[in-house]
Amino acid sequence: MSAAKRQALGRGLAALIPGASAARDASPASDGRGPDARGGPRPIPIEDIHPSATQPRTHFDDARLDELAASIRTQGVIQPIIVRGRDGGGFELIAGERRWRAAQRAGLHELPAVVRDVEPTQAFEMAMVENLQREDLNPLEEAAGYERLIAEFGYTQETLAERVGKDRSTVANSLRLLRLPAAVRGLVAEGRLSMGHARALLGLDAPAAMERLARRSVAQDLSVRKIEEIVRRERDGIRAPKPSATAARAAKSTSARDLSMRLTRALGTRVDVVEAGPGRGEIAIHYHSLDQLDALLERLVPS
């Protein structure tokens, strides 16, 4: 990528929407798809606008789209969308897909748009930066966008962090999310796992272990702190401690405690009833001397 293009990217939205200086350089395309002579937004029929197949954002919340549509009905579209000419006719979105979707729900027939004459690769670059500056991407979309910018535009993590206004560690941690197995990323995208859970799972090395713990977390509604504790134990090779006898007794059901008391009274020594599942368990009879054992055997196993 040329230095000039990187400098334009660093200007963010200012590079996307032509100002007065850009207007002097702009000239309408002969096919009518270029920016208008003033270099500013112009109305475009909504049916002539098509979403980009490389849009970095993949999730659009229906409730928030409805809210935006209601605002558009009242206030109109305040900020124009950004588009480029499309080979098959019409225009391809660079920035503003949420506004385009909400405008359709609001029943608009036209949208104010700025037309930019850029290549498909540069259009993705612009869309990515615009979404990042608006914080419109979820963390997984952001990570995938970073990966594409590095792979397709030759950024290092340092230069990418500078261009999008983030710390290098933020970019590096975001890219680590792509190590998650597809099944775990799906749970995050569905909202069944938080990003805190996802980052904690990255402490495991094996994808199968990440997926297994992710599903356990969803099934048992484990906290992020609990996931971190389990990951620490697995990494250190420490088995989870067995519950103490006191804790085990505290966890007994009411019927098990009642049966323990009845047997203790009947035999004259402490008896524990340990439940192992529905209809299953163990009875532990305690004795403290051989004489006490002999007395118990005479009662339980009469000659």
Instruction: Tell me what pLDDT residue 55 has.
Output: 67
Give me the residue spans of the domains in the chain: 3-137, 180-236, 245-300
Each residue's pLDDT tens digit, 216-266: 999 999 999 999 999 998 887 755 555 555 555 455 678 888 888 888 888
d(CA 289, CA 165): 76
Buried b (16+ CB within 10 A) or exposed e, 201-227: bebbeeeeebbebbeebeeeebebeeb
d(CA 91, CA 47): 9
d(CA 146, CA 167): 13
- What architecture (CATH level 2) is domain 3-137? Alpha-Beta Complex (3.90)
Arithmetic mean of pLDDT, 170-181: 88
Kindly state the tokens that stand for 105. 């729900």
**52 contacts: CB under 8 Å, gap ≥ 6:** 92, 93, 94, 97, 123, 124, 127
**81-85, strands of its sheet edge to edge:** 42-45, 110-115, 81-85, 91-95, 49-50
Which of 19-28, 104-113, 137-146, 253-262 bottoms out in mean pLDDT, i.e. has the lowest?
A: 19-28
Residue 142 identity: E
Establish how many alpha carbons lie within 13 A of residue 276's alpha carbon, considering only the half-sphere containing its beta carbon.
4
190 given a catalytic annotation = no
pLDDT exceeds 90 at position 68: no
Q: Which residue among 97, 125, 141, 142 is the active-site one?
A: 97
- Mean pLDDT, the chain, whole residue set: 76
Contact 154, 141 (CB under 8 A): no
